[in-house]
Amino acid sequence: MKVWERDTEYTKWRWKPDGCECELPVFNPTRFLELVRGKAMAFVGDSVARNQYKSLKCMLHGVARPVNQTTETGTRVKRYFYTHYNFTLVYIGSTHLVKAVDVDPFSLKPARLHLEEPDETWASRVENMDYVIISAGHWPFRPRSDARRSAEFQGDGNSEDDLATTHFEPEYWEGRGNCVRKRPFTRDEIRIDWYLNMFLKVQMEEFRAAEREGRERGLRFRVLDVTEAMRFRPDAHPNHYGHPPGHPKRYADCLHWCMPGPIDTWNELLLQMLKSENKEGSEDGKGLLY
Protein backbone atom coordinates (compact mmCIF):
# COMPACT_ATOMS: atom_id res chain seq x y z
CA MET A 1 0.00 0.00 0.00
CA LYS A 2 1.28 3.44 -0.95
CA VAL A 3 1.88 5.75 2.03
CA TRP A 4 1.58 9.43 1.19
CA GLU A 5 3.77 11.73 3.29
CA ARG A 6 2.90 15.42 3.08
CA ASP A 7 5.62 18.07 3.31
CA THR A 8 4.84 21.16 5.40
CA GLU A 9 6.65 23.86 3.44
CA TYR A 10 3.30 25.25 2.27
CA THR A 11 2.55 26.41 5.84
CA LYS A 12 5.54 28.79 5.86
CA TRP A 13 4.39 31.17 3.10
CA ARG A 14 2.51 34.35 4.00
CA TRP A 15 0.41 36.48 1.65
CA LYS A 16 1.52 40.08 1.08
CA PRO A 17 0.18 42.49 -1.57
CA ASP A 18 2.55 43.92 -4.16
CA GLY A 19 4.12 47.29 -3.39
CA CYS A 20 3.02 47.30 0.24
CA GLU A 21 5.30 47.42 3.27
CA CYS A 22 2.48 46.35 5.56
CA GLU A 23 2.10 42.84 6.96
CA LEU A 24 -1.20 41.06 7.42
CA PRO A 25 -1.44 40.49 11.20
CA VAL A 26 -1.49 36.93 12.45
CA PHE A 27 -4.98 35.80 13.42
CA ASN A 28 -5.86 36.72 17.01
CA PRO A 29 -8.62 34.34 18.16
CA THR A 30 -9.38 36.25 21.34
CA ARG A 31 -9.77 39.51 19.44
CA PHE A 32 -12.05 37.79 16.92
CA LEU A 33 -14.29 36.37 19.64
CA GLU A 34 -14.50 39.72 21.41
CA LEU A 35 -15.65 41.38 18.18
CA VAL A 36 -18.39 38.80 17.63
CA ARG A 37 -19.49 38.57 21.26
CA GLY A 38 -23.25 38.14 21.46
CA LYS A 39 -23.58 37.66 17.71
CA ALA A 40 -24.21 34.85 15.24
CA MET A 41 -22.24 34.13 12.08
CA ALA A 42 -23.16 31.72 9.29
CA PHE A 43 -20.98 30.38 6.49
CA VAL A 44 -23.14 29.49 3.51
CA GLY A 45 -22.00 27.64 0.43
CA ASP A 46 -20.39 24.47 -0.83
CA SER A 47 -17.40 22.50 0.42
CA VAL A 48 -15.09 25.51 -0.05
CA ALA A 49 -17.29 27.45 2.38
CA ARG A 50 -17.05 24.47 4.72
CA ASN A 51 -13.28 24.57 4.30
CA GLN A 52 -13.18 28.17 5.52
CA TYR A 53 -15.64 27.47 8.34
CA LYS A 54 -13.48 24.58 9.57
CA SER A 55 -10.39 26.74 9.30
CA LEU A 56 -11.98 29.39 11.52
CA LYS A 57 -13.16 26.78 14.02
CA CYS A 58 -9.62 25.39 14.24
CA MET A 59 -8.13 28.87 14.68
CA LEU A 60 -10.51 29.58 17.57
CA HIS A 61 -9.89 26.23 19.20
CA GLY A 62 -6.82 27.40 21.10
CA VAL A 63 -8.80 29.84 23.25
CA ALA A 64 -12.36 28.49 23.30
CA ARG A 65 -14.05 25.11 22.95
CA PRO A 66 -17.58 25.42 21.56
CA VAL A 67 -20.63 23.38 22.46
CA ASN A 68 -21.95 21.31 19.57
CA GLN A 69 -25.58 22.37 19.12
CA THR A 70 -26.12 20.52 15.86
CA THR A 71 -29.53 18.88 16.03
CA GLU A 72 -30.23 18.09 12.40
CA THR A 73 -29.11 14.88 10.78
CA GLY A 74 -26.83 14.93 7.78
CA THR A 75 -23.98 17.31 7.03
CA ARG A 76 -25.71 20.33 5.53
CA VAL A 77 -26.13 22.26 8.80
CA LYS A 78 -23.62 22.48 11.65
CA ARG A 79 -24.07 24.73 14.69
CA TYR A 80 -21.60 25.50 17.47
CA PHE A 81 -21.99 27.82 20.46
CA TYR A 82 -19.13 29.58 22.27
CA THR A 83 -20.63 29.93 25.73
CA HIS A 84 -18.25 32.48 27.24
CA TYR A 85 -18.69 34.82 24.27
CA ASN A 86 -22.37 34.07 23.55
CA PHE A 87 -21.28 33.54 19.95
CA THR A 88 -22.93 31.15 17.51
CA LEU A 89 -21.02 29.75 14.53
CA VAL A 90 -23.00 27.96 11.82
CA TYR A 91 -22.20 26.21 8.57
CA ILE A 92 -25.02 25.71 6.06
CA GLY A 93 -24.23 23.59 3.03
CA SER A 94 -25.68 24.77 -0.28
CA THR A 95 -23.96 23.78 -3.49
CA HIS A 96 -25.63 26.25 -5.86
CA LEU A 97 -27.21 28.73 -3.37
CA VAL A 98 -30.41 28.46 -5.42
CA LYS A 99 -32.99 25.67 -5.40
CA ALA A 100 -31.33 22.63 -6.96
CA VAL A 101 -32.84 19.23 -7.74
CA ASP A 102 -31.03 15.97 -8.53
CA VAL A 103 -27.61 17.20 -7.37
CA ASP A 104 -25.07 14.37 -7.35
CA PRO A 105 -21.42 15.33 -6.79
CA PHE A 106 -20.22 12.03 -8.26
CA SER A 107 -22.27 12.10 -11.42
CA LEU A 108 -22.28 14.15 -14.62
CA LYS A 109 -26.06 13.93 -14.75
CA PRO A 110 -27.43 17.49 -15.03
CA ALA A 111 -29.01 19.06 -11.95
CA ARG A 112 -32.17 21.13 -12.33
CA LEU A 113 -31.75 24.69 -11.04
CA HIS A 114 -34.47 27.22 -10.19
CA LEU A 115 -32.44 30.40 -10.52
CA GLU A 116 -35.07 32.74 -9.03
CA GLU A 117 -35.57 30.64 -5.90
CA PRO A 118 -32.97 30.54 -3.10
CA ASP A 119 -32.10 27.26 -1.47
CA GLU A 120 -34.39 27.11 1.56
CA THR A 121 -31.75 25.22 3.52
CA TRP A 122 -29.94 28.52 4.07
CA ALA A 123 -32.59 31.12 3.21
CA SER A 124 -34.85 29.94 6.05
CA ARG A 125 -32.06 30.09 8.64
CA VAL A 126 -30.20 33.37 8.18
CA GLU A 127 -32.81 35.99 9.08
CA ASN A 128 -31.52 36.34 12.64
CA MET A 129 -27.83 36.08 11.76
CA ASP A 130 -25.59 39.10 12.29
CA TYR A 131 -23.10 37.98 9.64
CA VAL A 132 -23.82 35.78 6.64
CA ILE A 133 -20.71 34.83 4.68
CA ILE A 134 -21.74 33.53 1.28
CA SER A 135 -19.26 31.80 -0.97
CA ALA A 136 -19.47 29.94 -4.25
CA GLY A 137 -17.05 27.34 -5.55
CA HIS A 138 -16.85 25.50 -8.84
CA TRP A 139 -20.35 24.06 -9.08
CA PRO A 140 -21.24 26.40 -11.99
CA PHE A 141 -18.89 24.30 -14.12
CA ARG A 142 -20.96 21.17 -13.63
CA PRO A 143 -23.69 20.27 -16.17
CA ARG A 144 -27.15 21.53 -15.35
CA SER A 145 -30.59 22.10 -16.81
CA ASP A 146 -32.18 25.35 -15.65
CA ALA A 147 -35.84 25.09 -14.76
CA ARG A 148 -36.82 28.75 -14.97
CA ARG A 149 -34.51 30.28 -17.54
CA SER A 150 -31.47 29.27 -19.53
CA ALA A 151 -28.05 29.75 -17.99
CA GLU A 152 -25.01 30.84 -19.91
CA PHE A 153 -21.58 29.23 -19.99
CA GLN A 154 -22.75 25.67 -19.46
CA GLY A 155 -20.12 23.00 -20.02
CA ASP A 156 -20.90 19.69 -21.65
CA GLY A 157 -19.52 17.68 -18.74
CA ASN A 158 -17.05 15.83 -20.93
CA SER A 159 -14.05 18.12 -21.23
CA GLU A 160 -11.26 18.69 -18.74
CA ASP A 161 -12.33 22.30 -18.33
CA ASP A 162 -15.63 21.21 -16.80
CA LEU A 163 -13.96 19.56 -13.80
CA ALA A 164 -10.46 21.07 -13.60
CA THR A 165 -9.12 24.13 -11.80
CA THR A 166 -6.06 26.15 -12.76
CA HIS A 167 -3.94 24.20 -10.27
CA PHE A 168 -4.36 20.83 -11.96
CA GLU A 169 -1.24 19.81 -13.86
CA PRO A 170 -2.33 18.51 -17.30
CA GLU A 171 0.83 16.44 -17.67
CA TYR A 172 -0.20 14.55 -14.56
CA TRP A 173 -3.81 14.03 -15.62
CA GLU A 174 -5.12 11.03 -13.69
CA GLY A 175 -8.81 10.78 -12.99
CA ARG A 176 -9.57 14.33 -11.84
CA GLY A 177 -5.98 15.41 -12.23
CA ASN A 178 -3.06 16.10 -9.96
CA CYS A 179 -1.53 19.11 -8.15
CA VAL A 180 2.09 18.28 -7.50
CA ARG A 181 3.65 21.70 -6.99
CA LYS A 182 5.62 22.18 -3.77
CA ARG A 183 6.13 25.94 -4.04
CA PRO A 184 3.82 28.85 -4.90
CA PHE A 185 3.66 30.05 -8.47
CA THR A 186 5.87 32.92 -9.50
CA ARG A 187 4.09 35.70 -11.36
CA ASP A 188 5.52 34.36 -14.63
CA GLU A 189 3.95 30.96 -13.96
CA ILE A 190 0.41 32.22 -13.39
CA ARG A 191 -1.95 30.95 -16.06
CA ILE A 192 -4.68 33.01 -17.64
CA ASP A 193 -7.97 31.32 -16.78
CA TRP A 194 -10.82 32.63 -18.91
CA TYR A 195 -13.50 30.82 -16.86
CA LEU A 196 -12.15 32.16 -13.58
CA ASN A 197 -11.97 35.72 -14.86
CA MET A 198 -15.43 35.49 -16.37
CA PHE A 199 -17.06 34.23 -13.18
CA LEU A 200 -15.22 36.81 -11.11
CA LYS A 201 -16.57 39.56 -13.37
CA VAL A 202 -20.13 38.23 -13.09
CA GLN A 203 -19.88 37.83 -9.33
CA MET A 204 -18.62 41.38 -8.86
CA GLU A 205 -21.46 42.75 -11.00
CA GLU A 206 -24.00 40.83 -8.92
CA PHE A 207 -22.32 41.94 -5.70
CA ARG A 208 -22.64 45.59 -6.65
CA ALA A 209 -26.33 45.06 -7.46
CA ALA A 210 -26.89 43.33 -4.11
CA GLU A 211 -24.99 46.09 -2.32
CA ARG A 212 -27.28 48.75 -3.78
CA GLU A 213 -30.45 46.85 -2.87
CA GLY A 214 -29.14 45.91 0.55
CA ARG A 215 -28.37 49.52 1.39
CA GLU A 216 -32.04 50.36 0.92
CA ARG A 217 -32.97 47.60 3.39
CA GLY A 218 -30.45 48.56 6.05
CA LEU A 219 -28.02 45.74 5.22
CA ARG A 220 -24.29 46.16 4.79
CA PHE A 221 -22.55 44.07 2.14
CA ARG A 222 -18.81 43.62 1.79
CA VAL A 223 -16.76 41.50 -0.59
CA LEU A 224 -13.48 39.75 0.09
CA ASP A 225 -11.87 38.85 -3.21
CA VAL A 226 -9.18 36.24 -2.55
CA THR A 227 -8.81 35.27 -6.22
CA GLU A 228 -5.43 36.85 -6.84
CA ALA A 229 -3.89 35.66 -3.57
CA MET A 230 -5.02 32.06 -4.05
CA ARG A 231 -3.96 31.86 -7.68
CA PHE A 232 -0.37 31.69 -6.44
CA ARG A 233 -0.89 28.68 -4.15
CA PRO A 234 -0.98 25.39 -6.08
CA ASP A 235 1.27 23.95 -3.38
CA ALA A 236 -1.29 23.87 -0.57
CA HIS A 237 -4.05 21.55 -1.76
CA PRO A 238 -4.69 18.20 -0.05
CA ASN A 239 -3.87 16.38 -3.30
CA HIS A 240 -3.68 12.66 -2.40
CA TYR A 241 -2.86 13.34 1.22
CA GLY A 242 -6.40 14.13 2.34
CA HIS A 243 -7.50 10.49 2.37
CA PRO A 244 -7.63 8.64 5.70
CA PRO A 245 -4.86 6.04 6.27
CA GLY A 246 -5.67 2.77 4.62
CA HIS A 247 -8.21 4.23 2.21
CA PRO A 248 -7.48 3.83 -1.50
CA LYS A 249 -6.43 6.87 -3.50
CA ARG A 250 -9.51 8.00 -5.43
CA TYR A 251 -8.49 11.34 -6.87
CA ALA A 252 -6.22 14.30 -6.25
CA ASP A 253 -8.02 17.03 -4.33
CA CYS A 254 -6.75 20.18 -6.02
CA LEU A 255 -9.78 22.26 -5.09
CA HIS A 256 -9.81 22.48 -1.28
CA TRP A 257 -7.04 23.73 1.00
CA CYS A 258 -4.92 22.17 3.71
CA MET A 259 -5.26 23.41 7.28
CA PRO A 260 -3.18 25.15 8.44
CA GLY A 261 -2.56 26.76 5.09
CA PRO A 262 -3.47 29.68 2.83
CA ILE A 263 -7.21 29.35 3.54
CA ASP A 264 -6.42 30.65 7.03
CA THR A 265 -5.58 33.92 5.28
CA TRP A 266 -9.28 34.27 4.44
CA ASN A 267 -10.10 34.38 8.14
CA GLU A 268 -7.21 36.70 8.89
CA LEU A 269 -8.70 39.09 6.35
CA LEU A 270 -12.17 38.49 7.81
CA LEU A 271 -10.88 39.59 11.20
CA GLN A 272 -9.48 42.79 9.69
CA MET A 273 -12.85 43.45 8.05
CA LEU A 274 -14.61 43.01 11.40
CA LYS A 275 -12.15 45.38 13.06
CA SER A 276 -12.75 47.94 10.33
CA GLU A 277 -16.52 47.58 10.64
CA ASN A 278 -16.26 48.03 14.39
CA LYS A 279 -14.24 51.22 14.02
CA GLU A 280 -16.87 52.61 11.66
CA GLY A 281 -19.53 52.04 14.28
CA SER A 282 -21.49 49.79 11.97
CA GLU A 283 -22.46 47.17 14.50
CA ASP A 284 -26.12 47.99 13.94
CA GLY A 285 -25.86 46.86 10.34
CA LYS A 286 -25.91 43.24 9.28
CA GLY A 287 -24.33 41.17 6.60
CA LEU A 288 -21.10 40.26 4.87
CA LEU A 289 -20.86 38.84 1.37
CA TYR A 290 -17.90 36.91 0.06
DSSP states of 220-240: -------HHHHHT-GGGS-BT
pLDDT digits (tens, 9 = 90+) for 198-233: 888 888 898 899 899 999 988 888 988 888 888 899
Judge whether 204 lies within some domain: yes
Confidence of residue 135 (pLDDT cuts 50, 70, 90): confident
CA-to-CA distance for 171 and 228, rounded, in angstroms? 24
Judge whether 290 lies within some domain: no
Helix (H) or strand (E) holding 151: none
Same domain, 32 and 128: yes
For residue 164, the enclosing domain spans 157-219+232-254
Judge whether 189 lies within some domain: yes
Give the Cβ contact number of residue 128 at 10 Å: 9
Most confident of 110-114, 126-130, 196-200: 126-130
pLDDT digits (tens, 9 = 90+) for 235-267: 999 888 877 666 666 677 888 899 999 999 999
Same domain, 204 and 134: no
Catalytic residue among 46, 130, 253, 264: 253
- Based on the structure, what is the number of domains in the chain? 2
* Per-residue pLDDT at 164 exceeds 80: no
**E-assigned strand segments in the chain:** 40-45, 67-68, 77-82, 87-93, 98-101, 111-118, 131-134, 144-146
pTM of this structure: 0.82
Nearest Cα to Cα of residue 80 among 91, 92, 66: 66
Judge whether 211 lies within some domain: yes
Same domain, 210 and 127: no
Active site (annotated) includes residue 55: no
Judge whether 77 lies within some domain: yes
Instruction: Name the β-bridge partners of 289.
Output: none
**Residue burial 192-219, b: 16+ Cβ < 10 Å; e: rest:** ebebeeebeeebeeebeebbeebeeeeb
Higher pLDDT, 152 or 208: 208
Same domain, 129 and 31: yes
Judge whether 121 lies within some domain: yes
* Per-residue pLDDT at 138 exceeds 90: no
Judge whether 197 lies within some domain: yes
Same domain, 93 and 73: yes
Confidence of residue 103 (pLDDT cuts 50, 70, 90): confident
Same domain, 47 and 188: no
Judge whether 148 lies within some domain: no
Same domain, 242 and 273: no
Same domain, 117 and 96: yes
Same domain, 30 and 53: yes
Same domain, 180 and 239: yes
Active site (annotated) includes residue 253: yes
Catalytic residue among 47, 145, 146, 193: 47
Same domain, 213 and 268: no
Active site (annotated) includes residue 47: yes
Catalytic residue among 107, 256, 282, 284: 256
Same domain, 184 and 214: yes
